[in-house]
Chain A
Amino acid sequence: MTASVGLLSTLVGVALALTVLAPVLLLVLLYRDWKGDRLW
Chain B
Amino acid sequence: MKSVQDAILDPTIGWTILGLFSLLWIALGWYWGRHAKELDDYVLAGRRVGLALGTATAMATWVTSNTTMAAPQLALQLGIWGMLGYSLGSVGLLMFAPLAKRIRRLMPSGYTSGDFIRLRYGNTAWRVFLGISLFYSLGWLVSMGMAGGILIHALTGIPYHFGMSVILAICVGYTLLGGFRAVIGTDFIQAILILTGVVIIAGLAIDRVGFDTIHGALEQQRPELLNLLMPAALMFLFNNLLFGVGEIFHSNVWWSRAFAFREGVGARAYMLAGLLWAPIPIVAGFIALAVPSLGINVPAADMVGPMVAADILGVGGAVLVLIMVFAALSSSLDSLLAATSILLTEDIYRRHFRPQASSAELRRASAWIIVGLGALTWLLCAPRVTTLAELLYFTGAFVASTIWPIAAGLFWRRANPLAAVAGMVLGSAAGLWSYFAIGFYVAALVGAAVSMTCVLLGAWLAPDRFEWSRLQETHPQGEVP
Contacts and interface: CB of A to CB of B under 8 A. Distances in A.
Interface string A1-40: 1111100110110111011101101110110111000111
Interface of A: 1-5, 8-9, 11-12, 14-16, 18-20, 22-23, 25-27, 29-30, 32-34, 38-40
Q: Which interface residue of A4, A14, A19 has the most chain B CB atoms within 10 A?
A: A19
Given A33-B52, A38-B262, A40-B184, A1 B228 contact: yes
B52 A8 contact: no
Contact of A30 (B188, B214, B228, B282): B188
Contact of A40 (B53, B195, B202): B53
Given A23-B195, A40-B184, A33 B279 contact: no
Interface in B55-85: 55-56, 59, 80, 84
B52 A26 contact: yes
Nearest to B227: A2
Interface stretch (B42-50, B419-427, B429-437): B42-50
Contact of A25 (B87, B276, B286): B276
B191 A15 contact: no
B211 A15 contact: no
Contact of B51 (A8, A15, A18, A38): A38
A40 B46 contact: yes
B53 A39 contact: yes
Contact of A20 (B45, B53, B199): B199
6 contacts: A4-B215, A8-B214, A23-B191, A23-B195, A25-B272, A26-B56
Given A11-B80, A40-B48, A2 B223 contact: yes
Interface string B282-326: 110010010000000000000000000000000000000000000
B198 interface: yes
Contact of B227 (A1, A4, A22, A27): A1
B327 to A, nearest CB: 12
Interface residues of B, number: 47
B20 interface: no
B462 interface: no
B337 to A, nearest CB: 19
A2 to B, nearest CB: 5
A22 B262 CA distance: 22
A26 B188 contact: yes
B364 to A, nearest CB: 23
Interface string B203-245: 1001000011011100100010011110000000000000000
A12 B283 contact: yes
B188 A33 contact: no
A11 B74 CA distance: 17
A12 B210 CA distance: 12
B66 to A, nearest CB: 15
Nearest to B87: A15
A21 B157 CA distance: 34
List the 8 closest pairs (A to B, CB-CB), nearest first: A15-B279, A29-B52, A15-B282, A30-B52, A33-B50, A5-B215, A38-B50, A18-B279
Nearest to A25: B276
B181 interface: yes
Contact of A39 (B50, B226, B229, B283): B50
Interface string B331-362: 00000000000000000000000000000000
Contacts of A15: 87, 278-280, 282-283, 286
A30 to B, nearest CB: 4
Given A2-B228, A18-B279, A39 B52 contact: yes
Contacts of A18: 276, 278-279
B51 A33 contact: yes
Contacts of A11: 80, 84, 282
B49 A14 contact: no
Nearest to A30: B52
Contacts of B24: none
A32 B52 CA distance: 8
B171 to A, nearest CB: 20
B188 A3 contact: no
A14 to B, nearest CB: 7
B379 interface: no
